[in-house]
């Protein structure tokens, strides 16, 4: 990589970011296509966010990814939001267009692209989503444009209801949307005929890798199970889903595909997803995580 006075800088801001995989696969994509870009990660605490965004303007950073805990609070520092980011109320990608900062969210389309990349049909399918937080919100809005039925289950039922009502109010097509508590009874009933199960909760994430949000008995071979967690790469949920013959997808696919959409926003060029995948796998091997 050759850095010059003309190199365009993209960055990740959040807290913490030290173990992020984004610099690995974004830089691999830039290098593969011979683009004079570089991608770095900066730890930015909540109290520092305003200063960081002002620094982006002053230093002429070309683009940003935004991760926790800033996806919502960063909005007040931006000049414009695209339509999807407005609906969802969250931003994870920023483009600096001649000093004007424009916010986007790529989480939802990243999840949809990860499913399609793995050969999963979405149109008309029954999709059960666990969780009603930021990731679930972005994904649910995007999936509602294709799904036949969307079921949102969350420990706090009110959050699931609010999300479902927001989707009904804001999307352009009619889709059957239901909600409920994340209980064994609801899981047993809803998963009987579910085509796709998406875990958008932290249940099963390290260091609690022995936990799972769904009993193995509720899984079946005619479903796809997509766990947004990528640490560990194969959660207990995915292991048990694989054991019953279900198709499984881990969170690494979503991470890379949402990053690929960010790459397209910044560069206007279709991203080399396979290159990004290979670079990430090599980095994980280097870290001893696979």
**Catalytic residue IDs:** 71
Dihedral (C-alpha) 204, 210, 216, 221: value to the nearest 10 degrees?
A: 60
Residue 143, CA distances (Å) to 137, 156, 270, 282 in order: 10, 21, 22, 31
**For residues 66 and 50, what is the distance between their CA atoms, to the nearest angstrom?**
13
Q: Is 132 exposed, middle or buried (0-12, 13-18, 19+ CB in 10 A)?
A: buried
Per-residue tokens: 264: 């397209």
For residue 172, what is the DSSP state? S
130 forms beta bridges with 153, 199
Structure tokens at 121: 């049909």
* C-alpha separations of 258 from 106, 112, 210, 219 in Å: 5, 9, 27, 27
Extract the runs of DSSP E, i.e. beta strands, from the chain: 8-14, 37-43, 63-66, 80-81, 93-97, 100-104, 126-130, 149-154, 176-181, 196-199, 224-227, 247-249
265 HSE (CA, 13 A, CB side): 26
- Are 255 and 239 in contact, with CB atoms under 8 Å apart? no
Instruction: Give the integer Cα–Cα distance in Å for 80 and 173.
Output: 25
Taken in order 127, 133, 134, 135, is the CA torsion positive or negative? negative
Over its C-alpha atoms, the chain yields an Rg (Å, rounded) of 19
């Amino acid at each position: 990589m050759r850095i010059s006075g003309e190199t365009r800088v993209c960055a990740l801001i959040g807290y913490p970011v030290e173990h992020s995989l984004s610099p690995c696969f974004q830089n691999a994509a830039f290098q593969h296509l011979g683009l004079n870009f570089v991608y770095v990660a900066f730890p930015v605490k909540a109290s520092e966010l305003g200063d960081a965004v002002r620094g982006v303007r002053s230093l002429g950073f070309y683009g940003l990814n935004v991760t926790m805990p800033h996806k919502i609070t960063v909005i007040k520092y931006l000049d414009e939001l695209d339509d999807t980011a407005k609906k969802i109320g969250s931003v994870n990608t920023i483009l600096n267009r001649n000093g004007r900062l424009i916010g986007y969210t790529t989480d939802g389309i990243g999840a949809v692209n990860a499913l399609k990349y793995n050969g999963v049909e979405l149109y008309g399918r029954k999709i059960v989503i666990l969780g009603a937080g930021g990731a679930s919100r972005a994904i649910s809005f995007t999936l509602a444009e294709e799904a036949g039925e969307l079921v949102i289950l969350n420990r706090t039922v009110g959050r699931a209801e609010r999300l479902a009502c927001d989707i009904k109010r804001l999307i352009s097509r009619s889709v059957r949307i239901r909600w409920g508590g994340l209980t064994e009874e609801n899981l047993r009933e809803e998963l009987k005929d579910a085509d796709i199960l998406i875990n958008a909760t932290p249940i099963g994430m390290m260091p609690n890798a022995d936990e799972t949000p769904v009993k193995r008995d509720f899984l079946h071979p005619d479903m796809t199970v997509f766990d947004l967690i990528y640490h560990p790469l194969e959660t207990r949920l995915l292991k048990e889903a694989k054991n019953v013959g279900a198709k499984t997808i881990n969170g690494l696919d979503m991470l890379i595909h949402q990053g690929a959409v960010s790459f397209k926003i910044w560069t206007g060029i279709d991203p080399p997803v396979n290159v990004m995948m290979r670079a990430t796998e090599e980095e994980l091997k280097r870290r001893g995580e696979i």
